Structure 1
């Protein structure tokens, strides 16, 4: 199988980095991307600013490959997604040339001539990757497969039980599962926007809406948390080793304290009623929020495992992440900066030479850093190249969030048993209980 390529699923930051590392090791990559260009998922949130600085957003092997083209790495600043593409990811994809195939959707991965049940000779058979190219089926043989497809295509629904709330599909016209482009302030000015979620994306949306509300005081913003307490929602502030990440939560907290944002806790969406002009969220305990012109559902993502049904995987039952890293990234226990970096040994699956890397390797865990993925990629490619010493070595120490101990007990309204233990717990000055519709 040494003459076959390593197939990489996804031409995002980690997928392109995989290809750069493979080339550096003398192994031929083939990157399959469903979108029409590099980093298609990043392009969808190209208006959003990253909290990681440029040096943390460029993979080392990718940088070495690009240096040969005369490319100069951006040294300072915090790009928005579109700048990440134009100044790094697109040049990297161009340098890889026809090793990246666009408009190619992976529909299945298996072992050639062996379904999931067959043991005999399984590891000696190449992988077969089934793809759809503009409606035409193709088969690609591969010596190894690295799935870096991420989770962007499968956002979690609004329903608190992990399934769509009643009426959620009918309310689609009033819902967004991505951070909207708030540069079009007129779309939100003087209107009521509800943000559901407790992660960095939600804080980003709240901060952008605060900017609109300061310019247009009749703008209403409601921030909904499923948990009964704030917990670590506001992050570690100045204790966060990524300053811009810490600042996200700090700014959002100030908006709540100033009364610009109404924060509602313990609100678990069960039903969505729609009118001609908006959507009304109704919780499991019967509370109803005032009608919203737009509901921004930022409740996380989940991995798409549908095309991996013939691959033998060992995933955690809760997070759908590789079992050896699940406990480290479980949001009930840890924040993203309190975990160790992961490598090939952590990501290996029962299916020999198959790996999940990047955001998909974290399953449903809500926090992932580009630098985490780059370290995963370095280690996995070293293992495939037979450099077991380099694969076993961990070259990255993750920056701490300044928050540890998890998010607290789900139903603890006081927050006394959760939140920050590495930094002072955030003080909540305003938690609203929304009026119940008559």
Structure 2
């Protein structure tokens, strides 16, 4: 029997259906190829395998191994250069043409000359204050040229600082300057003609024009006595410093410092009467601060300043063999004095300042200046009138302390009051009659 006779009818139906599907697919592919334009037709002659249609592609086409680069093209800008270019767009500057002229009509030489003139300050300059916020460099130039006897070329520099603080949103106008400007001139006559315009109004505001190098009328900064004596900045100055007295506080001491070291160090200022050093209870070493009491105020002032003046002969090393001529020179130069620093001890910079006088300190702790103790329900201004802190003249004489009646418990007065006798009162031998 043949194979067709041996095939099951069901298998025959399956093979027929597969054949029909294949034919339908081929018809669809032919129609799709016909509808495509000639430029998009797939070249099937290159290989035996049929080319895939664009709709059937599942993978991206691989990039070619070699990339063509045109060396003649300009190099791409870096991130830093791109940022600079962006800033240049926001603040445009005049660009130069091929002929050397800038876009605003000036040549490179003129622009360079303007920069040199505008960058350097002149000897003849003025400070202009109370400017209106609408003022600009051009309007300020025009104002000076119109009102003073000068030309525009005599104004070499106009420095008008722009505002840096954020503008108040409630303001209707935006300020274009900080309210002041510096203007330099080429001649002294132009400078004085500008100063003569002071109190002249510009947009309704009277200008204040002064010499840029003159500081007359400016209030001086207050200086403490310590700054005036030392002649240096207030780096080590302390707010609320005490008045000069014999007692000095010394801080930033090393833990290994002893009283003898302090006495030998400050003996160069003058006589030292007493040294009170704060020490640890267990080891007895210095806690880092002490109080030194000198014999006079001048010695204490020298310690606070941190230097004393000595003769030059004390600075020179004492050699065993000295020539007579050297000794004579020393005696001649003994009148000159040099500064000897005392602001360091064992390599540590000391912190010296005037301490409270012993009398002032005692009054603050135990005397009249002692702060009053707080009393519940009483105004702090009246605390001194209650308790142990306040005593009037009558109390001092009698020795009794003033008692606040509000502090007495209820019923305490009746319990401590003397009770009257309930017995019959004896006759005193007096007789009262009524008419």
Between structure 1 and structure 2, the one with the greater Rg is 2
TM-score by length of structure 2 reads 0.17
Greater relative contact order, per chain length (Cα 8 Å cut-off, separation 6+):
1
Normalized per residue, which structure has more helix? 2
TM-score by length of structure 1 reads 0.17
